[in-house]
Amino acid sequence: MENKITLKQVEKAIEHFNLHEQKRLLQDLPHLLKIKADDIALLKITKNSFNFWDNPDDSIYDQL
């Protein structure tokens, strides 16, 4: 019998990690999720494309 853990259990465990453990998980997550290096690079490149939305005029929408 396979012992599976649920997403909720994983989330709860992550909540109990200290800051160092959370940062390490964040660093390792793309590899653990098998995200291709090319896809990660594209995400990093496009990240700054949305900076124009970070302005006081539309700050009311930031909480949505």
Span 9-61, pLDDT tens digits: 999 999 999 999 999 999 999 999 999 999 999 988 888 887 877 788 877 87
Dist. CA 47–CA 64, nearest whole Å: 19
Q: If pLDDT is split at 50, 70 and 90, which confidence band does 1 have?
A: low
Nearest C-alpha neighbor of 25 from the set 41, 36, 13: 13
Q: If pLDDT is split at 50, 70 and 90, which confidence band does 8 have?
A: very high
pLDDT value at residue 36? 94
Q: How much is the pTM?
A: 0.57
